[in-house]
Chain A
């Protein structure tokens, strides 16, 4: 044992605290799987949170998805023209958006908007003792605050990701439509021609993982906020940064795994 001042640490204060943090986060996450199947289910609160996550992010996701579709089409067209392969544009855009960009853009937006919101809300409840007040009233705060929010993000973000993909393809269609006469139906048909069921399944599975990550990171950071209003700000900030970091790692892993099939 090393001694730093009068305190004893296994390795050093920083390293010990890091591993304690990882252990706590792991316990916090596993507790979700224990609690999610237990009564009461707080369905009304889950629906409320789905509304908070879904409807309130819709405008931002619509705008971002639309712009991504336009920009990606504009950037891809010159390269395809060089090879005389502009007819492949809808397929290329379709694969890129449905398999990668739709889920990723949605997850990043939700990490910023929803993750920070959850972190700040729960952080504020923690520092003003509202979570303790629930606990002493014999209400399980983990069940009521964490499980409901994580379920809401896990359910809603895949739906938002699919919606984002459709809006992006529409943006792409409008961009193509400026220079070429093509109907919306045939554009969508071409876009989906090369997309298999496995691609859609992977995309939805990925969004479920992203949604779960955003929910669990936001609630974890909020639940462990301390040091007053400064702690609330830090919880919101860390919820965004850590969720985005994990989303990129998960993206790489899921792409790697899906390539095996």
Chain B
């Protein structure tokens, strides 16, 4: 696994979240989240299943509306955006879904070309072809463009899912459980890919995961989410310091270590 080599621009915040609350009926999922992501930075949000990690990134991308709080992406309050303004912002955000969410009635090529054809109407066929082949090359799956998603392995689907977000050249990447359900070797390949994407496309990333190996190797900072709140934010060593007295952090570390 290659180590992350990125330059963080602390003077430029790309995601700023303050006082974020979200609940579903009586279930409070997020209870006051404060968080900043700087340009060029990778932050891993760690937490158990049901701790609100996926809800957090769905709010960031505007798929869910917060009950309370401010979410500012690239200087724009996402809750105030609608229609074309929201779509324009979304072109700068890449979202890699946990289950890849590839369009299963389309080939790999069509999956990748679709966001371009829908958003960049003036692109020629050759330009679309070039863009598709460039991202396929970036994720190391040059020869798969004619295959259907059902013919791909889990790891290949994740790669194509990431390629589909890269085709719009986003400034921010959101990864929802990028290594979930993958074997250790494929997980390591995806971790390398996340770092390569960061280097090549200069993205800032939020990586939602419960895999400590993934978090350690892809993130500059780790934010530990527990019961809807960040209980610790810092680099890996700070968060999982040997003298930590937080039972939850200890348990999470030991579980991953044993695994």
B61 interfacial by beta-carbon distance below 8 Å: yes
User: B87-95, B124-132, B136-144: which one contacts chain A?
Assistant: B87-95
- A138 engages B97 (CB within 8 Å): no
- Distance in angstroms from A132 CB to nearest chain B CB is 6
The complex places the Cα of A140 from the Cα of B63 at a distance, in Å, of: 12
The complex places the Cα of A136 from the Cα of B100 at a distance, in Å, of: 13
- B93 engages A136 (CB within 8 Å): yes
Chain A residue at smallest Cβ distance from B86: A138
Chain B residue at smallest Cβ distance from A5: B26
A81 interfacial by beta-carbon distance below 8 Å: no
Q: Using C-beta atoms within 8 Å of the partner chain, give the interface range for chain A.
A: 10 to 19
- B87 engages A129 (CB within 8 Å): no
The complex places the Cα of A125 from the Cα of B149 at a distance, in Å, of: 14
A75 interfacial by beta-carbon distance below 8 Å: no
Q: For chain B, what secondary structure do more than half of its interface residues adopt (helix, strand, loop), or is it mixed?
A: loop
Interface residues of A in 21-48 (CB under 8 A from B): 40
- How many contacts between A and B, using CB within 8 angstroms? 58
- Distance in angstroms from A134 CB to nearest chain B CB is 8
Chain A residue at smallest Cβ distance from B84: A138
Residues in A neighbouring B61, C-beta threshold 8 A: 136
- Distance in angstroms from B128 CB to nearest chain A CB is 14
Q: Which of B93, B95, B101, B168 contacts A128 (CB 8 A)?
A: B101
Q: Which of A130, A138, A140 contacts B91 (CB 8 A)?
A: A138
Interface residues of B in 96-111 (CB under 8 A from A): 97-99, 101-104
A137 interfacial by beta-carbon distance below 8 Å: yes
Q: Which of B90, B102, B164 contacts A138 (CB 8 A)?
A: B90
- Distance in angstroms from A22 CB to nearest chain B CB is 20
The complex places the Cα of A7 from the Cα of B26 at a distance, in Å, of: 7
Instruction: Convert A139-160 into 0s and 1s, putting 1 for each residue whose CB lies closer than 8 angstroms to a CB of B.
Output: 1100010000000000000000
Chain B residue at smallest Cβ distance from A138: B87
Chain B residue at smallest Cβ distance from A140: B87
B25 interfacial by beta-carbon distance below 8 Å: yes
Q: Which of A133, A138, A140 contacts B101 (CB 8 A)?
A: A133
- B88 engages A138 (CB within 8 Å): yes
25 A-B contact pairs sorted by A residue (CB < 8 Å): A7-B26, A40-B121, A125-B103, A128-B101, A128-B104, A129-B99, A130-B101, A130-B102, A130-B103, A132-B58, A132-B97, A132-B101, A133-B101, A133-B164, A135-B90, A136-B61, A136-B93, A137-B90, A137-B114, A137-B118, A137-B119, A138-B90, A138-B115, A139-B114, A139-B118
